[in-house]
Amino acid sequence: MLGRIAHWAQHQPDKTAVFFPGRVITYRQFHAKVRQLIWTLSQRGFRKAGIAAVFGDTLLDDWLLIAALRGMGLDTICPKSPAQLNEMSLHKLSVIVMGEDTARTATIPHEFFATPRVVVPGAVLAAAEVAAVPDPAQVAEGGHMLVTTGTTGAPKAVHYPGAHEALRSELRASSFGFAKDTVYYASNFPLYTAVGYKNPASTWHCGGTVVIDPLPYHAALRLPETITSMVLTPALIEGFAASPRVGEAVRQTAIIRVSGGFLSAGSWEKVRSAFGHPIEVYFAATEIIGIVMRSRVTSLDALTWLTPEQGQRVEIVDDNGAVCPAGVEGQLRIGLSEIDAKSYVGDAAASARTFRDGCFYPGDLAVKRADGRVRILGRLSDVINVGGLKLAAAPIEHAIQVALRADEVCVFSGTDRAGNDQVVVACRRVAGLSRSEHAEVEKLVGRLGPVRVAHLTAFPLSPGAMQKTDRKALRKILLD
């Protein structure tokens, strides 16, 4: 990554590399700032190899610090919190690098008390002009670690070594259509997420511009009018579409992609009316470099059925690993390329379950049509079990959602206080449900047994950056 930034600093020095509220950073400034940080950090007494954990005060600070540390040959990780290092068993750190505001408030677990700590003053990171510094030592660029919980249920680190960085960025850029004229809206996704790291790195690889937006959507912020591409989660897209920062150029020209969970029919209708062209939904994973499947959404059918990317091996298999016929539900598996992840850091057991036979098993239930399009039916654990009958929750939820024009629907199986089986339907929308709508739900799922319908104006969200609906917390609210 640093090599590409240096390349563009030479060939288009005055092109904007980063837009951040209150700051516009050119490629020349970006490269000079990273060189200055390499010099500053190299004077500190820590081992210049191994893993560096970074906790900057802002997302921009995180980017500057990981670029510098990787330029020194270290692998980097930007966990959600210091406590997450323990959850992933990353105890052998070379250094913890922090912004001074973060250093004042962060609680470092006692396991890391002996780890060297470097606090970088905000003035150093924020200074527009940098002093000339000696050329850094030529070392192999370090890699970066991402954090995922979706496949395993617990935080796991995925290491992408520096050796294949250019190849990964090239493939990702091709997958997303990034080029030199790309102005990519990165929102404020942190660097432990795949979308937070991979897409900006791929944009800079091509010489494009990255827009970092840390402010809440109701805050006043004038974005560049030339934004060409963005990725948002289902939890964020409605707020963005309704925000005052979405100018006419964004509405008419930006390629808007949605990933990180199911986009509800209700949300799609709201977003469709806010923008002047179709959005794209896609399926990807922290462990896979490029897009796996996608769909340009022009109808409800296109919202749920995705087309595998050319060259991607996407299969639906049964419990024995045999490929399922068209129309038969099974487990999703994805063929791995040379540059995809092959394991989780420090977790051989989870790695063996998830990466096997040259494939990645993300833990999703899916079905493939005769035309090759695939529908994700939910997590393997998101199954309704009533009277011994097991059914995927997602198709049932989608049918109810369309019928009620709800923002989101979650369906669970459980028991009532008397110990009898029941189906609980949670409906998220602003307006309450009428008696006729309750009857409609009964008609759709009553065949499964007694039905209880719960109306909520909001669902609990996971604490991670992707802010997916926390089904486990929702189930606890409704059934415990």
Final residue of a structural domain among 379, 406, 439: 379
> What's the whole-number mean pLDDT along residues 246-252?
65
Does residue 157 share a domain with residue 103?
yes
Mark whether 375 and 402 lie in a shared domain: no
Would you say 87 and 80 are in contact if contact means Cβ atoms under 8 Å apart?
no
Residues 200 and 269 both lie in one domain: no
**CATH number of the domain encompassing residue 431:** 3.30.300.30
Judged against a pLDDT cut of 70, whether residue 334 lies above it is answered with yes
Domains in the chain: how many in total? 3
pLDDT at 251: 66
Residue 395 is part of which domain span?
A: 383-479
Residue 145 banded pLDDT, cuts 50, 70, 90 = very high
> Same domain for 412 and 318?
no
Q: Name the pLDDT band for 305 (thresholds 50, 70, 90).
A: very high
Beta bridge partners of 390: 385
Grade residue 304 by pLDDT with cuts at 50, 70 and 90. Answer: confident
Task: For strands 156-160 and 95-99, give the pairing.
Answer: unpaired
The pLDDT > 90 percentage for the chain reads 42
Residues 139 and 278 in one domain: no
Domain boundary among 214, 240, 271: 214
Do residue 318 and residue 396 come from a single domain? no
Please check whether residue 249 lies inside any domain of the structure: no
Final residue before a domain boundary, out of 351, 379, 407: 379
Residues 169 and 195 in one domain: yes
How many Å apart are CA 25 and CA 128, to the nearest integer?
8
10-60: pLDDT as tens digits: 999 999 999 998 889 999 999 999 999 998 898 887 888 899 999 999 999
pLDDT at 382 over 70: yes
Average pLDDT over residues 155-184: 93
Nearest to 228 by CA among 265, 185, 170: 185
* 201 and 111 part of one domain: yes
401 and 363 in a common domain: no
Is the model's pLDDT at 152 over the cut of 60? Answer: no
Q: How many CB atoms are closer than 10 A to CB 162?
A: 21
pLDDT in tens, 194-206: 999 999 999 999 9
pLDDT reported for residue 333: 96
- Grouping H, G, I as helix, E, B as strand and the rest as coil, residue 107 is coil
What mean pLDDT do residues 256-271 have?
82
Whole-number Å distance between alpha carbons of 146 and 77:
7
Query: What is the C-alpha R_g of the chain?
Result: 23
Structure tokens at 373: 């399009």
- CATH assignment of the domain containing 133: 3.40.50.12780
The answer, yes or no, to whether residue 112 has pLDDT greater than 80, is yes
Give SS3 for 57: coil
Residue 128 has pLDDT above 80, yes or no: no
Q: Which of 239, 273, 271 is nearest to 256 (CA)?
A: 271
Query: What DSSP letter does each residue of 317-353 carry, written as one string?
Result: E-TTSPBPPTT--EEEEEE--TTS----TT-HHHHHH
What average pLDDT is seen over the chain?
86
In a domain, 429, yes or no: yes
Domain for residue 7, yes or no?
A: yes
User: Do 370 and 419 reside in the same domain of the chain?
Assistant: no
Instruction: Say yes or no to pLDDT of 388 above 70.
Output: no
Q: Which residues lie below 8 Å from residue 468, measured CB to CB, with a gap of 6+?
A: 233, 234, 235, 260, 261, 461, 462
pLDDT per position as a tens digit, 426-457: 998 888 888 888 888 888 888 777 888 889 98
For the purposes of burial, counting CB atoms within 10 Å of the CB of 50, is it exposed (0-12), middle (13-18) or buried (19 or more)? middle
For residue 38, tell me if it sits in a domain: yes
Report DSSP state, residue 110.
Answer: G
Quote the tokens at residue 313.
């091996």
- Residue 312: strand pairing partners: none
The verdict on residue 235 lying in a domain is no
427 lies in some domain: yes
Within-domain flag for 421: yes
**Do 96 and 195 have their domain in common?**
yes
- Are 15 and 157 in a shared domain? yes
Domain with residue 312: its CATH number is: 2.30.38.10
Per residue, what are the HEC states of 186-241?
EECCCCCCHHHHHHHHHHHHHCCEEEECCCCCCCCCCCCCCCCEEEECHHHHHHHH
Assess if residue 109 is contained within a domain.
yes
